[in-house]
């Protein structure tokens, strides 16, 4: 079982002010919605793949904790989605690390 940190984090973007100058600004990175979007980013999903990914997406969306625990098969779906997606930017780095380097947890271990 893998635990994925789903807490939002701050990331820097650049915007143009009213004078046209580029200004850096910190904004929250929406982790949960980004993970869900990655699950459905492939244009070639079969019906069964769509259903399986929807189950994982619902688990991520409905999680009320700081991290979501995924069974191995669920983790493989998410990890594969992250690995095959093209078009990441620097502000996505933390999200990618959280998935690819997810912590293994013992499902039988009791939470404190």
Contact 105, 69 (CB under 8 A): yes
pLDDT by 10-residue block (mean), the chain, 112 residues = 97 89 92 98 94 98 97 97 95 97 85 50
Whole-structure pTM value: 0.87
Nearest to 31 by CA among 95, 81, 80, 77: 95
Widest CA span of the chain, in angstroms?
58
b/e sequence 41-61, b meaning 16+ C-beta within 10 Å: eeeebeeeeeebbeebbeebe
Q: Would you kindly state where each structural domain of the chain is located, as residue ranges?
A: 2-104
pLDDT reported for residue 112: 45
């Amino acid at each position: 079982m893998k635990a994925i940190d789903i807490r939002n984090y701050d990331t820097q973007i650049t915007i143009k002010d009213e004078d046209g100058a580029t200004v850096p600004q910190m904004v929250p990175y929406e982790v949960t919605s980004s993970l869900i979007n990655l699950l459905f980013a492939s244009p070639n999903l079969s019906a069964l793949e769509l259903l399986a990914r929807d189950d994982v997406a619902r688990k991520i969306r409905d999680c009320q904790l700081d991290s979501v625990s995924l069974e191995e098969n669920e983790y493989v779906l998410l990890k594969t989605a992250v690995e095959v997606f093209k078009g990441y930017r620097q502000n996505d780095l933390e999200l990618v690390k959280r998935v690819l380097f997810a912590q293994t947890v013992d499902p039988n271990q009791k939470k404190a």
